[in-house]
Copies of this chain bind each other. A is one copy, B any other.
Amino acid sequence: GEDRYPSRVATKATITDRKDPVVYGRAGDGPLSESELRFYQDNGYLSFDGLLSADDLAACLNELQRLRTDDAVKASPEAVIEPESRELRSVFSIHKSSALLRRLCGHPRLVAIARQLLGSEVYIHQSRINYKGGFRGKEFYWHSDFETWHVEDGVPAMRMVSCSIALTPNTSHNGPLMIVPGSHQRYVSCVGETPDDNYKSSLKRQEVGVPDDASLTQLVDEFGIAAPIGPAGSVTFFECNAMHGSNSNITPMPRSNLFVVYNSVENKPVAPFCGLEPRPNFIAEREDFTPAAELAKDR
Taking beta carbons and an 8 Å cutoff, which residues of A are in contact with B?
A: 134-135, 139, 141-142, 172-173, 175, 178, 213, 216-217, 220-221, 225, 227, 245-253
* Bound-complex Cα distance A115 to B3 (A): 66
CB of A173 within 8 A of CB of B227, answer yes
Choice from B135, B141, B217 contacting A250 with Cβ under 8 Å: B141
Contact (A220, B251) CB under 8 Å given A173-B227, A213-B135, A225-B173: yes
* Bound-complex Cα distance A245 to B174 (A): 12
Choice from B139, B225, B251, B253 contacting A248 with Cβ under 8 Å: B139
* Bound-complex Cα distance A134 to B248 (A): 14
Quickly give the copy total for this chain.
Answer: 2
- Sorted from nearest, which 7 A-B pairs have the closest CB atoms? A248-B248, A172-B172, A217-B252, A247-B247, A247-B248, A139-B248, A220-B252
Choice from B227, B246, B251 contacting A172 with Cβ under 8 Å: B227
Q: Is the interface of A mostly helix, strand, loop or mixed?
A: loop
Question: In the complex, what residue of chain B is closest to A218 when comparing beta carbons?
Answer: B252
Q: Please, which residues of chain B bring their CB within 8 A of the CB of A173?
A: 178, 225, 227, 247
Question: In the complex, what residue of chain B is closest to A229 when comparing beta carbons?
Answer: B172
Q: Please, which residues of chain B bring their CB within 8 A of the CB of A172?
A: 172, 227
Q: Please, which residues of chain B bring their CB within 8 A of the CB of A245?
A: 250
* Bound-complex Cα distance A5 to B244 (A): 44
CB of B247 within 8 A of CB of A135, answer no
**How many Å from the CB of A130 to the closest CB on chain B?**
16
Q: Please, which residues of chain B bring their CB within 8 A of the CB of A134?
A: 213, 217
